[in-house]
């Protein structure tokens, strides 16, 4: 059973009653997880786990200490508080200390489904058993991961704030290979409500990609027009919200830094149709109503119509720079200001040689100044000629700047965003130039 709001409140009240320090912030977390992993068309591992923890940060004369516990009895909670106070006593003054928040108002984002929190083992086994049967029938080799989890969390401060929230997440991802090992397809999706997780679509798409990817040809690396499916966009841009840190930009060490200690805030950095924002109440990817340090989350734009609208200010950096702390991000949504293009339209509008990319792999930064990254395609690449899929092609390594990729003139079409894992809602993108640097034989 997950912690309820009443139980959580009782525990945070108790912890705070033990605090002798000047200020304190407490958080509780309780996670229930159930997973099933299959591979080579057989069940591999499967398990249920429970985690719970309480965490406290205290400040005594501006000196900070943190500690945590997994035991919720009085003695353990008290020991945790004392440990944090001990660490604070021997720590230097925390220059980033700001008084914790008083009571805030939070608006629930409704990202919890009971069916996800308490899944049926038999129903799941039957569903995956069906996928294995279908894979064997289609003469393909499947591997995949099914996961359902429920989280309850609470935070409270010595200054009177309290917030409780719970959420769930269910996901299935699958990689399917042909028996000869020469083709591989992948598909994965997630939903907070397991009843809305379309496992049949996931299996169908992964199997289809593997079968249609057979007899791939080698092509020369170089600059290509590309269509990135939402999964490929997630692999490349799923973590982009974290790039908008104000401090790094102002200190001159981010792609959003300008010459002489300035930032690109207010400048047009991307194509004018690109919007990057966070919205806790988005119905597809509801996210936490509480942002950094317990500030109530709001819908915020990082990029609006291609313009760098907001950098993310922590409470500390905001105070120092005379700015407002940023109420987010808590998820990442990329959306076109104009009409979303369908995948068919993207293909039909591909007059030059265009590559359709399913997914990227092992992406690493090579130059943070231009947000340049390297990585490889994986699990399905096709060449499109005259608006139609001509044939599958082998994988390629790319070296590409994210800034240049999203720049005005390089973004041709933007699709309708879809929910992917990691709290993202992302569209397919059709891009004019994407730089591939070498071939990869890997399947």
Partner 1 sequence: MLVVLLTLVGVYFMTISRRDFLRVTGIALGAAAIPSWVYSADLTSNPLPDFDKNKLADAALSSAKKLGASYADIRISKYRIESVSAREREIQAVAKGQNYGFGVRVLFKGTWGFAASPLVNEKEVERVTREAVDIAKANSAFQTKPITLVDAPKVSGNWKSSFKRDPFDVPIDEKIEFLLKLNEAALGVKGVSFVNSSMSWVNEQKFLATTDGTRVEQYLIRGVPSFSVTAIDRAKGDFQTRNSLAQGKGAGWEYTTEYDWLGEAKRAGEEAVGKLTAKPIVPGEYDLVLHPSHLFLTIHESVGHSTELDRALLWEANYAGTSFLTPDKTNKLQFGSKIVNFFADRTQENGLATTGWDDEGVPGQKWDLVKDGKFVGWQTTRSLAPLIGEKSSRGCLHADSWNSVPFPRMPNVSLAPAAKDVSADELISDVKNGIMIFGRGSYSIDQQRYNFQFGGQTFWEIKNGKITGMLRDVAYQSRTTDFWNACDALGGKSTYELPGTFSDGKGQPGQSSAVSHGCPVTRFRKINVLNTAAD
The residues, ordered by sequence, that sit 6+ positions from 248 with a Cβ below 8 Å of its Cβ are 254, 257
* DSSP per-residue string spanning 100-119: PP------------HHHHT-
Between residues 9 and 78, which has the closer beta carbon with respect to partner 1?
Answer: 78
The residue among 141 and 227 lying less far from partner 1, judged by its C-beta, is 141
Residues 7-46 that bind partner 1 (CB under 8 A): 29, 31, 33, 35-37, 39-46
According to the binding rule CB under 8 A, does residue 369 interact with partner 1? yes
**Distance between CA atoms of 288 and 109, rounded to whole angstroms?**
7
105 burial class (0-12, 13-18, 19+ CB within 10 angstroms)? exposed
With contacts defined by CB under 8 A, name the span among 5-13, 16-24, 167-175, 407-415 that binds partner 1: 167-175
Sequence-separated (6 or more) residues with CB below 8 Å from residue 288: 109, 165, 167, 280, 297, 330
| Nearest distance from C-beta of residue 341 to partner 1, angstroms | 25
| Least distance from partner 1 to the Cβ atom of residue 231, Å | 9
Q: Which of 242, 337, 351, 386 binds partner 1 (CB under 8 A)?
A: 242
In the complex, least distance from residue 67 CB atom to partner 1, rounded to whole angstroms: 6
Query: With CB under 8 A as the contact rule, which of the stretches 334-342, 344-352, 362-370, 385-393 interacts with partner 1?
Result: 362-370
Residue appearing with tokens 């299935």? 172
401 closest CA partner among 374, 376, 426: 374
String of contacts with partner 1 for each residue 70-109, x by CB under 8 A: xx----xx-xx--x---x--xxx-xx--------------
In this structure, the number of other CB atoms found within 10 A of the CB of residue 55 comes to: 17
Q: Could you tell me which stretch among 171-179, 194-202, 338-346, 409-417 binds partner 1 (CB under 8 A)?
A: 171-179
C-alpha–C-alpha distance, residues 153 and 227, integer Å: 39
Residues 253-292 that bind partner 1 (CB under 8 A): 253-255, 257-261, 285-288, 292
Q: How far is C-alpha 2 from the geometric centre of its chain's CA atoms?
A: 24
Report if residue 220 touches partner 1, rule: CB under 8 A.
no
Q: Are 172 and 145 in contact (CB under 8 A)?
A: yes
Interacting residue with partner 1 among 26, 143, 302, 431 (CB under 8 A) = 143
65 contributes a contact to partner 1 by CB under 8 A:
yes
Q: Which is nearer to partner 1, 10 or 386 (CB)?
A: 10
Whole-angstrom distance, CA of residue 3 vs CA of residue 347: 49
CB of 351 to partner 1, least distance (A): 26
């Amino acid at each position: 059973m997950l912690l309820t709001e009443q139980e959580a409140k009782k525990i945070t009240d108790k912890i705070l009653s033990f605090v002798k320090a000047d200020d304190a912030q407490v958080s509780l977390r309780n996670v229930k997880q159930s997973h099933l992993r299959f591979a080579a068309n057989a069940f591999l591992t499967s398990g249920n786990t429970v985690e719970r923890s309480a965490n406290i940060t205290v400040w005594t004369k501006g000196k900070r200490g943190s500690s945590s516990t997994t035991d919720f009895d009085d003695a353990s909670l008290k020991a945790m508080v004392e440990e944090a106070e001990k660490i604070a006593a021997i720590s230097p003054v925390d220059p980033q200390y700001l008084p914790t928040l008083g009571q805030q108002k939070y608006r629930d984002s409704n990202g919890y489904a009971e069916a996800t929190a308490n899944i049926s083992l038999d129903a799941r086994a039957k569903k995956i058993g069906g996928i294995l049967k279908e894979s064997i029938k289609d003469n393909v080799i499947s591997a995949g991961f099914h996961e359902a989890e429920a989280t309850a969390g609470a935070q409270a401060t010595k200054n009177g704030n309290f917030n409780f929230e719970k959420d769930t997440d269910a996901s299935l991802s699958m990689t399917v290979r042909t028996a000869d090992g020469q083709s591989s397809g992948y598909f994965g999706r997630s939903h907070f409500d397991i009843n809305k997780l379309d496992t049949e679509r996931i299996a169908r798409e992964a199997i289809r990609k593997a079968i249609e990817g057979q007899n791939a040809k080698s092509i020369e690396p170089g600059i290509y027009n590309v269509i990135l499916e939402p999964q490929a966009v997630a692999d490349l841009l799923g973590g982009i919200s974290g790039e908008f840190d104000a401090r790094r930009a102002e200190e001159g060490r981010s792609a959003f830094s300008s010459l002489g200690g300035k930032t690109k805030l207010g400048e047009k950095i991307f194509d004018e149709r690109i919007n990057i924002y966070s919205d806790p109440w988005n119905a597809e990817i509801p996210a936490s109503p509480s942002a950094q340090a317990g500030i109530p989350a709001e819908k915020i734009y990082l990029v609006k119509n291609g313009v760098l609208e907001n950098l993310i200010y922590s409470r500390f950096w905001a105070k120092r720079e005379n700015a407002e702390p940023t109420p987010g991000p808590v998820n990442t949504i990329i959306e076109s200001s104009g009409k979303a293009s369908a995948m068919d339209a993207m293909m039909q509008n591909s007059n030059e040689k265009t590559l359709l990319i399913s997914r990227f792999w092992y992406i690493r930064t090579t130059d943070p100044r231009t947000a340049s990254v390297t990585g490889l395609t994986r699990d399905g690449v096709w060449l499109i000629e005259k608006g139609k899929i001509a044939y599958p092609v082998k994988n390629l390594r790319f070296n590409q700047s994210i800034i240049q990729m999203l720049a005005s003139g390089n973004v041709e079409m933007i699709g309708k965003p879809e929910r992917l894992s990691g709290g993202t809602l992302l569209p397919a993108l059709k891009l004019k130039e994407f730089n591939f640097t070498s071939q990869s034989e890997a399947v």
